[in-house]
Amino acid sequence: MTREEAFDSIKANIENENSIKHMLATEAIMRVLATHLGEDEEEWGLTGLLHDIDMELTEGNMHTHSKLGADLVKELGASEAMIHAILCHNETHGIPRETKLDKALFCVDPLTGLIIAAALVRPDKKLASLEAKSVIKKFKQKGFAAGVNRQQISLCSEIGIEFDQFIELGLMAMKTIAADLGL
């Protein structure tokens, strides 16, 4: 599967612009993490890009979300490792996260929302001027972007990355695609 095929299939299955931006941000962070950890950048990036491909098809049903996604990415030619990571990023299925790829996708997923929310409260609403320390400060304010699962983000420790560095890498990754994110 090429990156173009993966993105075409996201565009075919997702209408919501913000959802597409979430996939792109997840992809960007997964690529930076893979490079940082010496893992397969393409496999990690495509896993991030495709992880919520069934978001609109499953209409918020957490029992089918990720199962349908796993079937769809299998048809696209995803590796077993990608399929597993996508399946277990939804805890409803009770499938344990085993590999680094599984664990990375799980902790990156909520990070995109925190960083986007932190950018949107800046005067210029841009990522360029946002610093990691201010994202960390927002993380500690429980009432800020309250829907963001802090505990899940903290699981970056399971892939051997310290929290502060995880925020820095995530922010740096998202800055590289700021124009695509409209930020």
Among 27, 54, 102, 109, binds Fe ion (CB under 5 A): 109
Can you say whether residue 54 is alpha, beta or left, with left for phi > 0 and alpha for psi between -120 and 50 degrees? alpha
Q: Binding segment for Fe ion among 36-44, 109-117, 128-136, 142-150 (CB under 5 A)? A: 109-117
Q: Whole-number minimum distance, CB 26 to Fe ion, in Å?
A: 6
Q: Whole-number minimum distance, CB 88 to Fe ion, in Å?
A: 13
User: In sequence order, what DSSP letters do the residues of 144-161 get, joined into one string?
Assistant: TTTTS-HHHHHGGGGGT-
In this complex, which beta carbon is closest to Fe ion, that of residue 26 or of residue 129?
A: 26
Geometric angle at alpha carbon 136, from 133 and 137, rounded to 5°: 90
Count other C-beta atoms under 10 Å from residue 30's C-beta. Answer: 28
Geometric angle at alpha carbon 91, from 85 and 97, rounded to 5°: 40
All residues at 6 or more sequence positions from 149 whose CB lies less than 8 Å from its CB, including other chains: 110
Provide φ and ψ at 55, rounded to 5°.
Answer: -50, -45
Task: Spell out, one character per residue from 125 to 164, where the chain touches Fe ion: x when CB under 5 A holds, - when not.
Answer: ----------------------------------------
Q: Whole-number minimum distance, CB 115 to Fe ion, in Å?
A: 13
Q: Whole-number minimum distance, CB 52 to Fe ion, in Å?
A: 4
In this complex, which beta carbon is closest to Fe ion, that of residue 29 or of residue 169?
A: 29
Q: Is residue 52 at the binding interface for Fe ion, with CB under 5 A as the rule? A: yes
Q: Whole-number minimum distance, CB 141 to Fe ion, in Å?
A: 22
Give me the residues that bind Fe ion (CB under 5 A), please. Answer: 52, 109
